[in-house]
Amino acid sequence: MKELTYVRADDAASAVATVSADPHARFLGGGTNLVDHLKLGVATPSTLVDVSRLPLDTVEVLEGDRGGLRIGANVRNSDLAAHPVVRSTFPALSRSLLAGASGQIRNQATTGGNLLQRTRCVYFQDVTTPCNKREPGSGCSALEGYGRYNAILGTSADCVATHPSDMAVGLAALDADVVVLGPDGERRVPLADLHRLPGHHPEDDTTLAHGELITAVELRGSELTRHSTYYKARDRASYAFALVSVAGALELDGDVVRDVRIAWGGVAHKPWRATVAEQALRGEVYSEDAVRAAAAEELRAAETGDDNAFKVAMVRNATALVMHQLASKQQHPQQGGTR
């Protein structure tokens, strides 16, 4: 770990100014990923600007028919998951948060930091092996190496890493917006546009510029978001990254799909909004077969190797499972919660 200058930020604007002006400066939030990377030598900043004590730690309920939320970037994962409006109006968010990491880490990790966590690809985390994401141009060790957690959609010849966040997948299905403060002021980024595919620049996880700070996440509630949930398939029953995960929202009108959202985790460099599948389902009669067919349509572009070929069937089936749970609840509302 290189020697560090530590600065506790007084306010968001000065934090942004400091980091923007110094290519070797980084924001420090909950620390659960950055401190990890400092020790591994994956991150070697010279200055840390601690934004974790900025007053961005509240969940505001926004005005409107269905309710909306403005979630401060410093709201801890555990607090967000337990928030009554999140639980009632955005269950996919609560579920995705609770599926991630551990109780301790959720007490520590922030909303902004969770979105910006970096891949858990074993080669990215091992500075003795080539990795284009960590060291552009050095090569991708995962392409021909250990591939159980590799992406199957949107990969490039330079990178097959997956994004590790569960929460981001939940937010992707809920059409969240990310509020970003930069040197020139605030802007809003749809969550689907926050993360990027690797292409030739896997070193860039997101579309944020250096020095831009996530200050909040905004959600708009609807009948659709109320009928949302999250399923995470993993080897270990807890405290494990996803093999695949599915965030889904479904609103039925009788047997017809009035609206639907599907986002996948563990399959791509970003939370994958399955827009092809959504399009195929919208306005159609709901059935398990229709969901499977829609998911299969989305997965036509999948590229797999021996280690991760199973993800195609797994994410298709998990999507069918999630939609089945959501549909059952609407068709038989007396039955309990969704999980």
Partner 1 sequence: MDTSITLTVDGSEHTLDVDTRTTLLDALRERIGATAPKKGCDHGQCGSCTVLLEGRRHLTCLALAVAHDGDEIVTAAGLTGSAADPASRGEDALHPVQQAFLDHDGYQCGYCTPGQICSAVGVLDEAKQGHPSHVTDDLEVGGDVELTDEEIRERMSGNLCRCGAYVGILDAVRQAAGQTPGRGVDPARHTHDHETEGAR
Partner 2 sequence: MTQQATPVEARSMGTHLDRADGREKVTGHARYAMEHGADDGVEAPLTAWLVQSTIARGRVVRVDPAAALAHPGVVSVLDHESAPRLADTEDRELAILQDDRVGLRGQIVAVVLAETPEAAREGARLVHVAYDEEPHRASLEGAETYAPESVNAGHETDWADGDVAAAFAGAAVVVDQRYSTPHEHNSPMEPHAATALWDGERLTLWDSTQAVHAVAKTFAPMLGLEAAQITVRAPYVGGGFGSKGLPHAPEMAAALAALSVPGRPVKLAVTRQQMFALTGYRTETVSHVRLAAEPDGRLLGIEQHAVSQTSAIKEFTEQTATAARMMYAAPARATTHRVAALDVAVPSWMRAPGEMPGMFAQEVAMDELAFACEVDPIELRVRNEPDADPETGNPWNNRRLVECLERGAERFGWAGRPSAPGTVQDGDWWVGTGVAAATYPTLWMPGNTARVESLGGGRYAVSIGAVDIGTGARTVLVQIAADALGVDPAAVDLHIGDTDQPAATVAGGSAGTGSWGTAIVQTVQQLRADHGEHPDAGVASTATAEAYPDMDRYALHSFGAVFAEVRIHRWTGELRAPRLLGVYSSGRVVNPMTARSQFYGGLVMGLSGALFEESVRDPRFGHVVTQDLATYHVASHADVHGIEVEWLADDTDTLATPFGGRGIGEIGIVGTAAAVANAAWHATGIRVRDLPVTADRFVR
Q: Could you list the residues that contact partner 1 (CB under 8 A)?
A: 1, 3-6, 8, 28, 31-32, 35-36, 38-40, 48, 50, 52, 78, 81-82, 84, 87-88, 91, 94-95, 98-99, 101-105, 107-108, 237-239, 336-337, 339
Q: Are 270 and 154 in contact (CB under 8 A)?
A: yes
Residue in the structure block whose two tokens are 């990178």: 159
Which of 320, 323, 326, 327 binds partner 2 (CB under 8 A)? It is 320
Helix (H) or strand (E) holding 6: strand 5-8
Residue 9's CB: how many other CB atoms inside 10 A?
22
Q: Are 50 and 28 in contact (CB under 8 A)?
A: yes
Residue number with CB closer to partner 1 (95 or 133): 95
Residue number with CB closer to partner 2 (122 or 293): 122
Residue number with CB closer to partner 2 (90 or 286): 286
Please tell me the distance from the alpha carbon of residue 184 to that of residue 170, in angstroms, as a whole number: 29
CA 65 from chain centre, in angstroms, equals 27
CB of 86: closest distance to partner 1 in angstroms?
Answer: 9
Q: Are 326 and 229 in contact (CB under 8 A)?
A: yes
Q: Which residues of 90-108 are buried (b: 16+ CB within 10 A; e: fewer)?
A: bbbbbbbbbbbbeeebbeb
- Between 179 and 198, how does the x/- string for binding to partner 2 read (CB under 8 A)? --------------------
**With CB cut-offs between 5 and 8 Å by kind, which of partner 2, partner 1, none does residue 297 bind?**
none
Residue 24 as a binder of partner 2 (CB under 8 A): the answer is: no
Which of 7, 17, 22, 41 binds partner 2 (CB under 8 A)? It is 41
Please tell me the distance from the alpha carbon of residue 257 to that of residue 27, in angstroms, as a whole number: 43
Please tell me the distance from the alpha carbon of residue 199 to that of residue 309, in angstroms, as a whole number: 21
CB of 234: closest distance to partner 2 in angstroms?
Answer: 7
The secondary structure of 125-182, three-state, reads: CCCCCCECCCCCCCCECCCCCCCCCCCCCCCECCECCCCCCCHHHHHHHCCCEEEEEE
CB of 317: closest distance to partner 2 in angstroms?
Answer: 4
- Between 136 and 175, how does the x/- string for binding to partner 2 read (CB under 8 A)? -----x--xxx-x---------------------------
Which of 6, 55, 63, 128 binds partner 2 (CB under 8 A)? It is 128
Stretch that binds partner 2, among 104-112, 174-182, 211-219, 236-244 (CB under 8 A): 236-244
CB of 337: closest distance to partner 1 in angstroms?
Answer: 4
Residue number with CB closer to partner 1 (166 or 175): 166
SS3 221: coil
Residue number with CB closer to partner 1 (27 or 286): 27
Please tell me the distance from the alpha carbon of residue 336 to that of residue 57, in angstroms, as a whole number: 32
Residues that bind partner 2 (CB under 8 A): 1-3, 39, 41, 120, 122-123, 125-126, 128-129, 141, 144-146, 148, 231, 233-241, 243-244, 310, 313-314, 317-318, 320-321
